[in-house]
């Protein structure tokens, strides 16, 4: 009997209806006996499916509230229940409504069904508004759904009006659920935030990535490499692996897709490796900044959903490996982001230890290369509501995430927080039009910080959801009046008294991207090489990477605030080193540095770029230790080689002075090596002064390149 409560209410409604609502009775449709009979038949079929869907919906809501102690604040939460029944109800109810468009309850049911499937669709508001005009009390929650539909269409004042009506109804009830009241108050606050943000929109360009990436099917969950040359995302297309449809929503199963940029344009996207895509759902959950590690979400059926890691090996992706128990639990784990050095991972879980519905956690890599115990990121970021889609920028301090809490304008909004002096700053809403009244999730930012990528169901796209690019424009340029003195001076040669302020600076990320290709110096064939990232001030290797074995490509992100050493190493080759001193606050920059490794053979010469001397002296500085240790290892691994250590200066100073300085510096390096156990018979010190420049001496950069220490293999 309980299952038929809505049907019973419908059949008895004529006793309580307002005059405006037209019932399905023969007196209301004279001369249309057969049409009425057919319409009532359709109505009964639609009501039956609606009742079953509504029961699933109400059960889901009850269970959700009992588990989270909050009400869903995103309409997508409600799409998890009753979908199939509501879909089956839509056609017969629509047919019945065509015959009788003035029945309040029928319009309410249609409006509710449309809300669950597509609340921003014009049909949702049309049916709910019609129901309200015919009988505002046809269902006690009509004002709530009408408010929310207006809310999701950015009709802020209309939404607030109906939320207030619903709130008044709740407050007058003898037994009102406090969570319902909290939910209504929260949504009113969201509308007020929406009014504020949309009145003062952010200056951004929002561009669809186009038909190379987007199709008539849903595309979402983008991840990008720090240099924006590769994008990996999730799509539900008709060519999905296994060609299966999900019985919950009739959409094709998820697959992971990739598109690469060529000459500044995205190439047609293709499915990622069959090692990654299976016959079940496979979704992109995150990508390392260099694009070498992909994180995949899969629902195994044993728990809420788990995270997997796949590594790009050569030209193909390896089968994803289930992440350890510190990351995956019996609960639902979703999005992932790793920091630039790959030693800390951020992820989202709804496990019981959280502060709210879904929380952001982090885990650090231990000495064995395993992810350690997860820690909650804390109440500065996590709220009692849900957080999702975490993204740590390559600068290592700026966190982007989506939240239903904080000062949002509806559903999930995207926020930014920075880690300063050991504490997360108050999350900042990225504003309108980046955020809107609906769910805004999976927001990733380029290494430069000037562009971002996200998915949205904006009107005018190619499909249900498309991937878009945001370009941040910075503050608007203001017109400035010329001064009175300027105007007087220019009377003889009049100009406009209005000039434009200098170009407004767009805030860039404090990070440097170093990328290139590692090859064999003679054959030009790509090489897989180990790349060490060193903190020269601490003489510590802070991260290791590998160039791709098939292409030789590598990408390293360097947050500002350190003196970095880079060492590229491979067995049977001389190592190659680079130095990047990036002081605190250094702006975004991108370097392309191809590395041609030289075989260990007589005559090979390399520059030791991470050997440093005190100014105008031959004293080795402590930050040279890592480079010297690499040289010692090379000599110990190859006991038959004899080398020359040669030092060079720029052209400043006298020839005699420069020759003496360079000779003393070479001897300092040789003495260091001898003290570390290298035989003096294998070492030759040589000073060249300014006699062998490799760059101009007319610029600071050129002189810097000329001041160098090299070693050359003399014997093998």
Structure confidence by residue, pLDDT tens digits, 49-72: 999 999 999 999 888 888 888 888
- Write the pLDDT tens digit of every residue in 204-244: 998 999 999 999 999 999 999 999 999 999 999 999 997 88
180 lies in the same domain as 277: no
Flag whether pLDDT at 120 surpasses 90: no
436 lies in the same domain as 582: no
Alpha-carbon radius of gyration of the chain: 33
In order of 19, 104, 142, 149, the CA distances from 133 in angstroms are 11, 8, 11, 16
Would residue 495 count as lying in a domain? no
Task: Give CA–CA dist 515/594, Å, rounded.
Answer: 8
Pairing of strands 270-271, 255-262: antiparallel
Q: Is 228 left (phi over 0), alpha (psi -120 to 50) or beta?
A: left
Would residue 156 count as lying in a domain? yes
170 lies in the same domain as 303: no
**pLDDT, mean of residues 115-140:** 92
CATH number at residue 163: 1.25.40.10
CATH number at residue 685: 3.30.1330.60
Q: What pLDDT is stored for residue 64 in this prediction?
A: 86
Please list, in sequence order, all residues whose beta carbon lies within 8 angstroms of the beta carbon of residue 469, skipping any fewer than 6 positions away: 205, 206, 207, 209, 451, 452, 453
313 lies in the same domain as 442: yes
610 lies in the same domain as 648: yes
Q: What pLDDT is stored for residue 490 in this prediction?
A: 37
- Which of 334, 437, 442, 468 is closest to 74 using CA atoms? 437
Q: What pLDDT is stored for residue 507 in this prediction?
A: 63
End residue of a domain, out of 599, 634, 669: 599
Token digits of residue 683: 């070492």
Token digits of residue 149: 């539909």
Structural domain tally of the chain? 4
Would residue 367 count as lying in a domain? yes
Flag whether pLDDT at 44 surpasses 60: yes
- Write the pLDDT tens digit of every residue in 424-463: 999 999 999 999 998 888 899 999 899 999 988 777 789 8
155 lies in the same domain as 11: yes
Q: What pLDDT is stored for residue 504 in this prediction?
A: 42
Task: Give CA–CA dist 482/469, Å, rounded.
Answer: 38
Would residue 497 count as lying in a domain? no
Largest CA distance in the chain: 117
100 lies in the same domain as 231: no
Please list, in sequence order, all residues whose beta carbon lies within 8 angstroms of the beta carbon of residue 321, skipping any fewer than 6 positions away: 308, 309, 310
Alpha helices in 464-590 (DSSP H): 484-489
Whole-prediction pTM value?
0.85
Q: What pLDDT is stored for residue 711 in this prediction?
A: 92
236 CB neighbour count, 10 Å cutoff: 23
176 lies in the same domain as 227: no
Per the prediction, the chain carries an average pLDDT of: 89
CATH number at residue 225: 2.120.10.30
Q: What pLDDT is stored for residue 456 in this prediction?
A: 82
Would residue 488 count as lying in a domain? no
Flag whether pLDDT at 23 surpasses 90: yes
The domain in which residue 546 lies consists of 510-599
Flag whether pLDDT at 487 surpasses 50: no
Q: What pLDDT is stored for residue 661 in this prediction?
A: 95
- 249 Cα distance to chain centroid: 26
Q: What pLDDT is stored for residue 414 in this prediction?
A: 94
Q: What pLDDT is stored for residue 481 in this prediction?
A: 44
Pairing of strands 479-481, 219-224: unpaired
Flag whether pLDDT at 166 surpasses 70: yes
| High-pLDDT (> 90) share of the chain, % | 72
- Which of 392, 375, 390, 432 is closest to 409 using CA atoms? 432
237 lies in the same domain as 142: no
Would residue 48 count as lying in a domain? yes
Question: 499 versus 140: which is more confidently predicted?
Answer: 140
Q: What pLDDT is stored for residue 2 in this prediction?
A: 41
**pLDDT, mean of residues 485-513:** 51
CATH number at residue 525: 2.60.40.2190
705: Cα within 13 Å, side-chain hemisphere: 10
How sure is the predictor about 499, in pLDDT bands with cuts at 50, 70 and 90? very low
End residue of a domain, out of 149, 179, 199: 199
Q: What pLDDT is stored for residue 391 in this prediction?
A: 96
Q: What pLDDT is stored for residue 461 in this prediction?
A: 85
Would residue 486 count as lying in a domain? no
Q: What pLDDT is stored for residue 144 in this prediction?
A: 97
Lowest-pLDDT range of 376-390, 475-489, 641-655: 475-489
322 lies in the same domain as 218: yes
155 lies in the same domain as 235: no
Q: What pLDDT is stored for residue 547 in this prediction?
A: 94
Pairing of strands 683-687, 642-648: parallel
Q: What pLDDT is stored for residue 7 in this prediction?
A: 46
Task: Give CA–CA dist 208/469, Å, rounded.
Answer: 6
Would residue 329 count as lying in a domain? yes
In order of 8, 16, 96, 637, 658, the CA distances from 172 in angstroms are 26, 20, 35, 84, 91
Flag whether pLDDT at 110 surpasses 50: yes
Flag whether pLDDT at 197 surpasses 70: yes
How sure is the predictor about 477, in pLDDT bands with cuts at 50, 70 and 90? low
Name the percent of the chain in helix, strand, coil, to the closest 5. Answer: 30, 30, 45
End residue of a domain, out of 172, 199, 226: 199
223 lies in the same domain as 259: yes
CA triplet 265, 271, 273: central angle to 5 degrees? 120
- Write the pLDDT tens digit of every residue in 345-381: 999 999 988 998 999 999 999 989 899 999 999 999 9
């Amino acid at each position: 009997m309980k299952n038929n409560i809505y049907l019973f209410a419908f059949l008895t409604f004529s006793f309580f209806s307002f005059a405006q609502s037209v019932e399905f009775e023969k007196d209301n449709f004279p001369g249309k006996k057969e049409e009425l009979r057919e319409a009532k038949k359709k109505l009964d079929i639609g009501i039956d499916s609606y009742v079953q869907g509504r029961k699933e919906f109400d059960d889901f809501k009850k269970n959700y509230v009992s588990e989270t102690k909050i009400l869903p604040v995103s309409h997508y939460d409600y799409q998890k229940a009753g979908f199939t029944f509501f879909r089956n109800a839509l056609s017969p109810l629509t047919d019945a409504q065509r015959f009788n468009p003035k029945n309040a309850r029928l319009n309410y049911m249609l409006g509710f069904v449309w809300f669950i499937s597509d609340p921003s669709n014009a049909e949702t508001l049309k049916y709910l508004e019609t129901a309200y005009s015919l009988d505002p009390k046809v269902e006690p929650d009509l004002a709530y759904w009408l408010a929310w539909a207006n809310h999701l269409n950015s009709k802020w004042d209309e939404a607030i009006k109906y939320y207030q009506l619903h709130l008044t109804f709740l407050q007058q009830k003898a037994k009102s659920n406090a969570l319902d009241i909290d939910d209504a108050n929260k949504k009113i606050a969201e509308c007020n935030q929406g009014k504020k943000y949309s009145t003062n929109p952010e200056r951004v360009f929002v561009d669809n990535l186009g038909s190379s990436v987007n199709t008539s099917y849903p595309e979402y969950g983008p991840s990008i490499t720090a240099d924006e040359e590769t994008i990996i995302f999730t799509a539900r297309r008709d060519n999905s692996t296994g060609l299966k449809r999900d019985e919950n929503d009739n959409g094709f199963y998820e697959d992971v897709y990739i598109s690469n940029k060529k000459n500044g344009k995205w190439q047609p996207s293709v499915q990622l490796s069959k090692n990654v895509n299976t016959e079940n759902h496979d979704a992109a959950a995150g990508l390392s900044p260099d694009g070498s590690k992909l994180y995949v979400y899969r629902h195994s059926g044993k728990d809420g959903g788990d995270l997997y890691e796949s590594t790009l090996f050569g030209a193909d992706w390896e089968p994803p490996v289930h992440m350890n128990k510190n990351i995956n639990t019996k609960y639902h784990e979703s999005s992932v982001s790793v920091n630039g050095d790959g030693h800390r991972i951020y992820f989202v879980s709804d496990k019981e230890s959280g502060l709210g519905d879904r929380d952001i956690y982090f885990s650090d890599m231990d000495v064995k290369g395993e992810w350690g115990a997860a820690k909650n990121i804390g109440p500065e970021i996590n709220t009692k509501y849900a957080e999702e889609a975490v993204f740590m920028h390559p600068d290592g301090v700026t966190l982007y995430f989506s939240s239903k809490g904080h000062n949002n304008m509806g559903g999930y909004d995207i926020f930014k927080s920075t880690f300063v002096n050991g504490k997360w700053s108050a999350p900042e809403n990225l504003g309108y039009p980046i955020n809107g009244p609906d769910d805004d999730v999976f927001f990733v930012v380029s290494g430069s910080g000037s562009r971002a990528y996200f998915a949205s169901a904006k009107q005018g796209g190619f499909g249900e959801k498309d991937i878009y690019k945001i370009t941040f424009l910075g503050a608007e340029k203001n017109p400035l009046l010329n001064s009175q003195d300027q105007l007087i001076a220019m009377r003889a040669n009049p100009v406009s008294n209005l000039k434009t302020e200098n170009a407004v600076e767009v805030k860039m990320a404090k990070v440097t991207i170093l990328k290139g290709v590692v090859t064999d110096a003679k054959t030009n064939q790509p090489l897989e090489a180990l790349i060490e990232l060193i903190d020269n001030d601490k003489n510590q290797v802070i991260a290791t990477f590998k160039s791709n074995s098939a292409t030789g490509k590598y990408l390293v992100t360097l947050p500002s605030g350190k003196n970095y050493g880079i060492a590229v190493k491979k067995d049977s080759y001389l190592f190659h080193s680079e130095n990047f001193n990036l002081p605190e606050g250094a702006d975004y920059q991108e370097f392309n540095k191809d590395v041609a490794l030289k075989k260990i053979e007589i005559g090979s010469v390399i520059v030791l770029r991470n050997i440093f001397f005190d100014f105008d002296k031959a004293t080795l500085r402590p930050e040279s230790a890592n480079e010297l240790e690499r040289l010692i290892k090379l000599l110990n691994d190859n006991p038959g080689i004899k080398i020359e250590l040669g030092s060079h200066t720029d052209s400043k100073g006298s020839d005699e002075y420069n020759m003496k300085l360079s000779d003393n510096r070479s001897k300092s390096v040789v003495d260091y090596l001898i003290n570390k156990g290298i035989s003096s018979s294998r070492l030759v010190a040589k000073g060249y002064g300014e006699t062998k420049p490799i760059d101009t001496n007319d610029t600071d950069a050129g002189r810097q390149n000329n001041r160098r220490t090299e070693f050359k293999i003399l014997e093998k």
